[in-house]
Chain A
């Protein structure tokens, strides 16, 4: 410290900025302070940029709609203009369910997400067991195949699926043989649950493969000698011990379905809860039918976002581990 200060004095003939720069370069304590300041600035910047849009939703939702259009959003506090609510109108959060039956849309989303999650977990558990614990020819190629399919865009699947879900016959490609005519599935949960399951299955498979592979072979062998079948050992020993992995796969699948847009907006032909239109339909019906009710759009968004925000706060660790395991494993 003493020596650096001395040197500081030697070189401080220039301007104050130069001496400060020199000080930072040479003085360990000053440098630490600079890093800390930089760190907290970055931290604050990221917090503001990620959270500000939500604050904006709240501002709009609480502002009475007639004042939104005329509103002056700037509030000259300490010289900074900052948007703030123009009045206080919490009734918007009630109206949101009255103007459009928004709760039905959310309910549909929950039903679709829960059903898909269960289907995905059952199928991915079998696949995770196979890929994580069995050795057989074709294992690598099959995993790669599932990975590749998960990369393809939903748009590449849409046209034949929509055709089939309208009730038109399923035709063997390139052979022209009509297999069967499926029931008309558009406007039913089936037309969404099936594509959702296929879409989000690969991630769940890779997460569960990772977790199931970590259970020691001895435990499975012990269960089988004690009297279970191979599948019995999966259900009684491997799955209970992989509970965190199953929770991870479940949370990520649920969030993914709840957030899905493509099939959600297309397979329900109208934005109508009777047609099993989910959250997407609810929000879009405000955007397309009540085009000036900006406060309701904001309130609906807040209501729709709450379930996932709660889920993120509760299951943060699971989401982080699942995303990284799923992606880096691949």
Chain B
């Protein structure tokens, strides 16, 4: 009943394209996060689903109904807003029952449903409070209760946790997941926080510059990003990228080579400019692993440690690839730099020469020009260590 479909939705404002040819198919009961940097069109996409903005082109279906031209009130959607948007001139009961009262439900029905909703979000006994007497978390619960009380087909949540403090945000995340299980309703959730998207959603839709980049379950987005943007956006800290060229026997960068047979990956041709991507946790200190020469690892790379960032459960180590150690970090920018995460008990210092290796199966190759993913994982030359996860990307997108 409450499948949400966007067909070629485009929203143009005078000379700005906020959303460009968006196609989304969200299944009934699914929890989908729209993520992306600010200005990527995720909020506009949500507004077109809510009906607050009419798309310039394209159609939107909720269930089997074409809602493209329906006003928000007739779409069967409920929405939770970033700034919470409780009506300051109404108490909690009046806020929650606002939509029901507009639809002329009888008093008992309203009372019953308000009590039920207040129960779900644990707001019992607060119905006669004014919004400004509530804490931030309580206000957000009222907003959620106002949304669930109408039994909407679809929940729209526009960064609902963005204005809460960090601790409360983590708590509310689990509450929302519990709520989703309990209600079993379609939830579309907008956030710029990829961690929020990773932890809560069934599928993540990554948007950039008004265009959909990828829509997949969180781990697929993490392990097999379709392009360099998704690879860099999902995961914290971000993936390392090193520029290089495809050569006869692998990929060569300014500072190191990764050997493999490019012929095994049809999308690669010798001479191609590629970006080599590797996540910080897939970079290993040679001293730390039992068999640094194992086939699933690359050859050793000489680096010099720079800044250390101890996080408690791990340490982020900035590694300088450049031979020339004189140039400071600011001068180099990110270019000759690699981030590695190691366990907190690792004995390591700044300004120390060390050797590192990369996990071959976790190496991603992207076309430097287009950013498209070319390969996820590269087998070693002999082919012994070919990982099951490794493989080429179908070039259909």
Task: Answer whether A219 and B87 are a contact pair too, CB < 8 Å, given A224-B52, A225-B50, A226-B98.
Answer: yes
Whether A222 touches B79, Cβ cut-off 8 Å, given contacts A229-B73, A241-B89, is yes
B99:A227 contact, CB within 8 angstroms: yes
Is A240 engaged at the interface, CB distance under 8 Å to the other chain? yes
Residue from the list B79, B98, B99 in contact with A221, Cβ < 8 A:
B79
Residue B83 at the A interface, CB < 8 A? yes
Q: Smallest CB–CB gap between A243 and chain B, Å?
A: 8
Q: A86 near B: Cβ within 8 Å?
A: no
Question: Which residues of the other chain, A, contact B72 by a CB distance below 8 angstroms?
Answer: 221, 224-225
Give, as a whole number of angstroms, the nearest-CB distance from A50 to chain B: 38
Produce 1/0 per residue, B121-141, CB < 8 A to A. 000000000000000000000
CA distance A232 to B99 in the complex (A): 12
Residues of A within 8 A of B84 (CB): 218
A227:B103 contact, CB within 8 angstroms:
yes
Q: Is A16 an interface residue (CB 8 A)?
A: no
Taking the complex as formed, is B102 at the interface, i.e. its CB lies under 8 A from any CB of chain A? yes
Q: Report Cα–Cα, A229/B102, bound state, in Å.
A: 10
Q: Looking across the interface, which residue of chain B has its beta carbon closest to that of A135?
A: B13
Known: A216-B85, A229-B71. A223 touches B98 (CB 8 A): yes
User: Residue-by-residue, is B57-88 near A (CB-CB < 8 Å gives 1, otherwise 0)?
Assistant: 00000000000000111000111011111111
Partner of A228, one of B52, B102, B150, B156: B102
For B98, the chain A residues whose CB sits under 8 A away are 223, 226-227
- The proximity string for A residues 228-241 relative to B, scoring 1 for CB distances below 8 Å and 0 otherwise, is 11001000010011
Question: How far, in angstroms, from A227 to B83 measured CA to CA in the complex?
Answer: 19
Q: A226-B98, A226-B102, A227-B99 are in contact. Are A221 and B73 (CB under 8 A)?
A: no
Instruction: Tell me the bound Cα distance from A228 to B72 in angstroms.
Output: 8
Which residue of chain B is the closest to A240 with respect to CB atoms? B89
Contacts of B156 in A (CB 8 A): 225
Q: Determine whether the beta carbon of A218 is less than 8 Å from that of B85.
A: yes
Is B192 close to A, CB under 8 A? no
CA distance A218 to B85 in the complex (A): 5
Residues of B within 8 A of A224 (CB): 51-52, 71-73
Interface assignment of B146: CB less than 8 Å from any CB of chain A: yes
Q: How far is the CB of A225 from chain B (nearest CB, A)?
A: 4
Query: Which residues of chain B come closer than 8 Å to A227, judged between CB atoms?
Result: 73, 98-99, 102-103, 150
Contact B82 A221 (CB under 8 A): no
Known contacts A224-B73, A226-B98; A218 and B87 CB within 8 A of each other? no
Q: A223-B98, A225-B77, A227-B73 are in contact. Are A218 and B89 (CB under 8 A)?
A: no
Map CB proximity to B onto A162-191 as digits: 1 under 8 Å, 0 otherwise: 000000000000000000000000000000
Are A241 and B85 in contact, CB atoms less than 8 angstroms apart? no
**A218 CB → nearest B CB, Å:** 4
Q: How many angstroms from the CA of A237 to the CA of B79 in the assembled complex?
A: 17
Cβ 8 A contact of B73, one of A219, A228, A237, A240: A228
Contact A221 B103 (CB under 8 A): no
- A225 proximity list for chain B (CB < 8 A): 50-52, 72-73, 77-79, 156
Most buried by B among A222, A227, A241: A222
Bound state CA distance, A124 and B98, in angstroms?
27
Query: CA separation between A230 and B319, bound complex, in Å?
Result: 57
Beta-carbon contact of B81 and A222 below 8 Å: yes
Residues of A within 8 A of B81 (CB): 218, 221-222
Could you list which residues of chain A lie within 8 angstroms of chain B, going by C-beta atoms?
Answer: 216, 218-219, 221-229, 232, 237, 240-241
Q: List 18 A-B contacts (CB under 8 A).
A: A221-B52, A221-B85, A222-B79, A222-B87, A223-B98, A224-B52, A224-B72, A225-B51, A225-B72, A225-B79, A226-B73, A226-B78, A227-B103, A228-B73, A228-B102, A229-B73, A240-B89, A241-B87
Taking beta carbons and an 8 Å cutoff, which residues of B are in contact with A? 47, 50-52, 71-73, 77-79, 81-89, 98-99, 102-103, 146, 150, 156
- Excluding A225-B51, A225-B156, 12 further A-B contacts by CB distance (< 8 Å) are A216-B83, A218-B81, A221-B72, A221-B85, A224-B72, A225-B79, A226-B78, A226-B98, A228-B102, A229-B71, A240-B89, A241-B88
The 3 closest A-B pairs by CB, nearest first: A218-B85, A226-B99, A227-B102
